[in-house]
Amino acid sequence: MLKNYQVFQLFSLKENTSLILTLDTILQTASASILSEFKQNNQSLNVVYLGFDNAVNKPLYCDFLIKCFAFIDVSGKTFEDKYGKLIELVNSKCDNNKHNLIIVDNINNIENEYILNFVNSLNNTQDDMISSSAEENNNSNRTLLTVYHKDNVDFEKYQEISSSNLAISLFPTTLQLLTSSANIILDINPVITDNKFVDDEEDVDEHLSKFHIPRGFNNSSNYQLELTHKRKSGRVTTFKFIMDSEKHEYIDNTKVVKVENPFGNNDISEFDGMTTFNLKSTEKQKQAKDNVELPFMEAQQFSSGGAIVYEFEKDDDYDEEDPYEDPF
């Protein structure tokens, strides 16, 4: 119940959230699923939809549809020349008396070097960089939601890496910039087990490698959601849900994972697949560790100082064993 309440708080935008990153795929797009949840949970929202992918039909969950390419000057040499008209139009559609949700679908269309400027301009901030905690934004009546397609390949980034300009090749990618800046990350994926036209993930990958989308995807009401909430204090909370877009219900799919200190050693998931041994401990192993009785230390009984006293059990046969005995 608590987790469902937190999800409701998120979608209703009751808390001050300035940047939400939504990750989707071609099998489960955000525009066909999770984006409708915000208007569903808060009818008073003023939703401005910046359509790059969908620039024709106005979604039911938005109040204004902006066809972005009509207001972008592709010949502009600076950010202001290229995106100035679009930013002004978005500002004119925002209502100062309501909470505004600005949806960018999708952010992949913005050049990597302009990402920070674009996000800051839509959030109406004057900072040159977005802080790692986007809650520092003072504009409390705006929330920017950026959709990022995980399937898209950044060919420009590959060209930069292969170039001789090392400074450009080391610049963070769009996904890295948004992930570090957003205080809420929504990662959505299809529920493969519910699709009768595919067997498993390997079967899905085989279809996608042939540029073929299997039947039954992107029109299912159920999908997986991994919600990551980064607070200003540094605490990171992650939930997993099965979402139902028809009934607007959220089913808890896993245990909550809390990282008290993202800069410490509390979260070892980043080392998965990188080691030759298992770093995690099962509940049984943790319980066995807690039940271990360490040798009793009788420091006060010896004048020379502290000493460790071992109390042998009756069944102990340490002296009876011959270390040089031939086992055969």
Residues 183 and 229: beta-carbon distance below 8 Å: yes
pTM: 0.69
pLDDT bracket for residue 64 (50, 70, 90): very high
Pick from 174-183, 196-205, 244-253 the range whose average pLDDT is largest.
174-183
**Residue showing tokens 């400027």:** 117
3-state secondary structure of 288: helix
pLDDT in tens, 150-168: 887 655 555 555 555 555 5
Give the whole-angstrom CA distance, residue 279 versus residue 287.
Answer: 16
In order of start, what are the domains of the chain with their CATH numbers? 2-190+221-271 (3.40.50.300)
Q: Identify the helix (H) or strand (E) that includes residue 242.
A: strand 236-244
Q: Nearest 5°: phi and psi at 155?
A: -65, -35
pLDDT in tens, 2-61: 456 677 788 899 888 889 999 998 888 898 889 999 999 999 999 999 998 766 788 899
Give the whole-angstrom CA distance, residue 82 versus residue 85.
Answer: 8
